Amino acid sequence: MSTNDRGHLGTEELNLSVIAEQDLDRNSREHLQACTVCRRERQLIVEQLGLVGTLAKRYAPEPSRKVVLPAMETDRRPARTFGWQLAFGAAAACALLLITFSLTLDNGRFRGPDQMSIAQEMEEDERLMAGVSSLEEDPLLEDYRKISPEEATSGLDDTLDFIVPVDEIKV
Domain ranges of the chain: 11-59, 134-164
pLDDT in tens, the chain (171 residues): 455 555 788 888 888 888 887 888 888 888 888 889 989 998 998 899 888 888 888 888 887 888 787 777 666 666 666 777 888 888 999 999 888 877 777 655 655 555 567 888 888 999 999 988 887 777 777 777 777 665 444 556 666 666 666 665 555
pTM for the model: 0.35
Q: Which string of b and e fits 83-92 if b means at least 16 CB within 10 Å? A: eeeeeeeeee
